[in-house]
Every structure is written in structure tokens, then in C-alpha cells.
Amino acid sequence: DRVEAPWHVVRVGARVEFVCAPGPLKTGAEAMAAHHPDVERALHLALLNRGCLIAPFHNMMLVSPATRKRQIDRLISAFDEILSDLFA
């Protein structure tokens, strides 16, 4: 069974950020509450073990026009697999 963990993606131009919250954040207090250092550390390590790297601060990437759909699909698949394992 797949466990649903609350997360979404925020995009501003070429900057993409993964946020562990059920929807877009509106305040700094909401951003602080969405920060989960233990989960984020485990996520970053598990992504590295799968050949994916995102910035360790802000859980973000800068996505180039040269980035291919298969690269994004790989990252999202790894992200989903890791969070499903963590919250199973």
C-alpha cells in the first residue's frame, strides 16, 4: 500500500522547491512549521543514493531549459518512493 505524505512543488521561474506541507505556504511561520530536518536529511541522502541531487537548503533545484522530462520523472519517482518508504 502506498502512504500519502503531504508535499507539493512550488515553481518561480527556473527555481523549483519541494515543500513538506499540504499546500502553498502563506507566511514565514508556515514555512518554519513545514521544515522537518530529520525527514529532509533522510530525503537528501536517499536521493543521493539514487543518483539525484537537490540543494540541501530550501530543498530546491534550478531547472534549465535543457533539463529533459525523463530527468524530472526520475527525480519525482525517487522522491515519491523515498517518502512512501519513510512514511509507510
Indicate the range of 9-18, 35-44, 68-77 predicted with least confidence. Answer: 9-18
Read off the pTM.
Answer: 0.72
The answer as to CATH 3.90.1150.10 being correct for domain 8-87 is yes
Please state the domain extents for the chain.
Answer: 8-87
**Which residue would you say has higher pLDDT here, 13 or 48?**
48
Per DSSP, the three-state class of 86 is: helix
pLDDT at 46: 95
Residue range 22-65, pLDDT digits in tens = 888 899 899 888 888 888 899 999 999 999 988 877 788 888 77
User: What is the pLDDT at residue 10?
Assistant: 65
Is residue 10 within 8 Å of 19, Cβ to Cβ? yes
Q: Where are the alpha helices (DSSP H) in 1-88?
A: 28-34, 37-49, 69-86
SS3 27: coil
Query: What is the rounded average pLDDT for all residues in the chain?
Result: 83
Average pLDDT of the segment spanning 3-21: 71
Q: Say if CB 40 and CB 79 are below 8 A apart.
A: no
Distance CA 76, CA 40 (A): 15
Tell whether the model's pLDDT for residue 12 goes beyond 60.
no
